Amino acid sequence: MVITKKERRMVAFVWFTSIFVLLEVLAFFLMFVMKDTMAAAKLPFPHTIFIVFVNNWRSLLEAGVITFSRAAIGFGIGAGVGIFLAVIMSLSKTAEKIAFPYLIMSQMIPVLGLAPIIFNIVRDMNLSRIIIAAYITFFPVSVNMLSGLKSVEQDKKDLLYSIATSKFEVYRKLMFPFSMSYLFTGLKIAAPMAVTASILVDMLGSRGGIGVRILYSLYSNTTDIFWASVMTSALMGIFSFYVIVIAENLLLPWRRGASKKDGEKV
Amino acid sequence: MNNKLKNILWPLAFGIGFILIWELGYLHEVLDLRPFQLPIPSQIMTTLYNNLPKVLKDGGVTVIGALIGLTIGSFFGFMIAFLATWFPKWGYGGMIVVTALNAVPIVALSPIMNLWFTTGMAQKIGVVTVVCMAAMAINAYSGLNNLKAFSLDLMETVAADKWVVFRKLRLPNALPNVFTALKINIAASIIAAIISEYFAASTSGLGFGIKDHLRKAEMAMGWSYIVVASLVGVVLYAIIILVERDAIKWHASQR
């Protein structure tokens, strides 16, 4: 069964509209039927959140940019380290044997749980945001990149070796272009995670940033701002994902539309 | 020396080397740290040993919350994938919503759950449930729908109804994906539970322990909690892998 693009758009539109309406109804129910005194905090009307968001967009954006930029720096560093590790591991079997178990183990450490500890060690908010975002990013990137480098067919490598291509050239002309789509899969997983990490670090005692807005508005009982901040952080996560998708379309013209095609078969 | 032994020895040697460097203080010299900022391994182990009952009790609270949330979340996630498969046209929209939910930072959820639930446990389970739901729904959906092209045709040829197709074809096909999601969720649920405890009103659990001891500048104790949290993750992960080996023996990834 194949669904056309037009139908798909309609389905998505209907879903989001119905969720919006449902939330409106639930909020109304909570406020006027259940007479819950905390109704405005538990579930405000979606349109109120939206109005508050529009009214405060400038300050929310400023807070968001602080958090987002640190996440982006950490994301860049983590991606660099991840790619570097993957190349080293694909070059040397011994390196892979040493590093791979530790890659897996490094993910067993609840790194977001480490956030307060890292902050205690470096004593600098921005630096700990960057470190944690980098740490979270490097794993999905390096594992995906490695599996990309490993899935190059042997025939292609043999062909290049048979015409006496140097190792460096093999990587440049064959391995890297081939593993790019794998790399972007890793980047797509990592981007929202890096944003999440950055927001969490905010919440553990930073000065500026969207996480601070969330906590501050929660404890000072300005609930409408609280929900608008949560909405901002959600948008940041979604935004980071689409930045990677757009980058993929720009940098890998031969893959254009492939990420869409993946979901074509229903 | 055979290969199997090499595979174990190399990483082991590296790990022991790293711990030795840390223990002998070279790590502190390189990073310019004081022992009170980063305790050495022997110190952490002694602290952990002396406070074992307390740390284990807190660990138990977190793990129970994480596992309950994991179960509920994975169940709901699978049900969403099931419904989306059953009603392909409208279910697809539901999957879009779930994917969007996946991009929402979980930390933003913790304070909201605080408003909805009064007890720390319920709040923890709430956060973990939402986190686990998305990964399971997305993975299970792709497993239920990415079938070999001819297999669905074959089913239609023998006039199998929707339910039979689901039970005999889609479900076994989705098992590997379900296990993948479970592996992701194990780590995610522990992390989510710990994060929710940072913001919870309750005074138990690993997250609270980490926060509380760091506030009192008891670094070694904070690290003991991290060690326990990591060990719990490793043990649960190992259990999942063993179950997986048994459940999908026929799958290519197991050979």
Interchain CB distance below 8 Å, A15 and B94: yes
Residue A18 lies in a domain: yes
Rounded Cα gap, residues B188 and B242, in angstroms:
19
Is the domain of A217 the same as that of A243? yes
Is the domain of A3 the same as that of A113? no
Is the domain of B160 the same as that of B132? yes
Whether residue A202 has pLDDT greater than 70? yes
pLDDT at B254 (0 to 100): 54
A-facing residues of B in 29-58 (CB < 8 A) are 33, 37-38
Is the domain of B87 the same as that of B22? no
Residue A54 lies in a domain: no
Is the domain of A83 the same as that of A134? yes
Interchain CB distance below 8 Å, B105 and A16: no
pLDDT at B68 (0 to 100): 94
Interchain CB distance below 8 Å, A237 and B104: yes
Is the domain of A26 the same as that of A69? no
Count how many domains chain A has. Answer: 2
Looking at chain B, which residue has its C-alpha nearest residue A98? B11
Is the domain of A71 the same as that of A102? yes
Looking at chain B, which residue has its C-alpha nearest residue A266? B145
What is the span of the domain harbouring residue A249?
60-264
Residue A48 lies in a domain: no
pLDDT digits (tens, 9 = 90+) for A217-259: 777 766 677 888 888 888 888 888 888 888 888 887 776 655 4
Residue A49 lies in a domain: no
Is the domain of A17 the same as that of A101? no
CATH number (domain holding residue A189):
1.10.3720.10
Residue A53 lies in a domain: no
B194 touches chain A (CB under 8 A): yes
Is the domain of B7 the same as that of B48? no
Is the domain of B71 the same as that of B196? yes
pLDDT at A90 (0 to 100): 84
Is the domain of A26 the same as that of A77? no
Q: How far is B247 from chain A (nearest CA, A)?
A: 22
Is the domain of A204 the same as that of A253? yes
Burial of B139-166, coded b for 16+ CB within 10 Å and e otherwise, reads: bbbbbbbebeeeeeeebeeeebeeeebb
The separation between the first and the last C-alpha atoms of chain B, rounded to the nearest angstrom, is 24
Interchain CB distance below 8 Å, B226 and A107: no
Q: Which of B136, B123, B18, B10 is nearest to B71 (CA)?
A: B136
Interchain CB distance below 8 Å, A98 and B14: yes
pLDDT at A241 (0 to 100): 85
Is the domain of A92 the same as that of A171? yes
B16 touches chain A (CB under 8 A): no
Is the domain of A185 the same as that of A249? yes
- For tokens 């904070």, the residue is B222
Give CA separation, B7 vs A38, A85, B125, in Å: 58, 18, 39
pLDDT at B71 (0 to 100): 94
Whether residue A263 has pLDDT greater than 60? no
Give CA separation, B87 vs A128, A264, B5, B178, in Å: 46, 16, 51, 20
Is the domain of B13 the same as that of B87? no
pLDDT at B74 (0 to 100): 93
Is the domain of A210 the same as that of A118? yes
Looking at chain B, which residue has its C-alpha nearest residue A14? B93
Q: How far is B171 from chain A (nearest CA, A)?
A: 16
pLDDT at B127 (0 to 100): 87
Is the domain of B1 the same as that of B26? yes
Is the domain of B104 the same as that of B45? yes
Band (A2; pLDDT cuts 50, 70, 90): low
Write down the mean pLDDT value for chain A: 78
Is the domain of A4 the same as that of A126? no
Contacts of A8 in chain B (CB under 8 A): 92
Residue A129 lies in a domain: yes
What is the span of the domain harbouring residue B1?
1-33
pLDDT digits (tens, 9 = 90+) for A130-182: 888 888 888 888 888 888 888 777 788 788 888 888 878 888 878 888 888 88
Contacts of A113 in chain B (CB under 8 A): 191, 194-195, 206-207, 210, 225-226, 229
Q: Out of B7, B88, B106, name the one closest to residue A97 (CB).
A: B7
Mutate to test the interface with A, among B27, B107, B114 (most CBs of A within 10 A): B107
- For tokens 């949330």, the residue is B69
pLDDT at A205 (0 to 100): 66
Burial of B244 (0-12, 13-18, 19+ CB in 10 A): buried
**Which whole number is the average pLDDT over A116-123?**
74
Is the domain of B101 the same as that of B183? yes
- For tokens 């074809």, the residue is B169
Residue A51 lies in a domain: no
Residue A109 lies in a domain: yes
pLDDT at B53 (0 to 100): 86
Looking at chain A, which residue has its C-alpha nearest residue B208? A113
Rounded Cα gap, residues A201 and A131, in angstroms:
10
Is the domain of B14 the same as that of B110? no
Count how many domains chain B has. Answer: 2
Give the HSE-up count for residue A198: Cα atoms under 13 Å, Cβ half-sphere: 34
DSSP annotation of A166 reads: -
Burial of B61-74, coded b for 16+ CB within 10 Å and e otherwise, reads: bbbebbbbbbbbbb
B10 touches chain A (CB under 8 A): yes
pLDDT at B72 (0 to 100): 94
Q: Which pair of tokens denotes residue B113?
A: 């759950």
Band (A266; pLDDT cuts 50, 70, 90): very low
Interchain CB distance below 8 Å, A121 and B38: yes
Interhelix angle A93-108/A57-91, rounded to 10 degrees, is 150
B6 touches chain A (CB under 8 A): yes
pLDDT at A264 (0 to 100): 38
Q: What is the pLDDT along chain B (255 residues), one digit of tens a residue?
A: 567 777 777 777 878 888 888 777 777 777 767 766 677 888 888 888 888 888 888 888 889 999 999 999 999 999 988 888 888 777 777 777 777 777 677 767 777 777 777 777 888 898 899 888 888 888 888 888 888 778 888 888 888 888 888 888 888 888 888 888 888 888 888 888 888 887 776 777 888 888 788 777 777 888 888 888 888 888 888 888 888 888 777 665 554
8 A C-beta contact, residue B181 and residue B144: no
More confident residue, A28 or A35: A28
Is the domain of B50 the same as that of B26? no
CATH number (domain holding residue B190):
1.10.3720.10
Whether residue A34 has pLDDT greater than 50? yes
pLDDT at B12 (0 to 100): 79
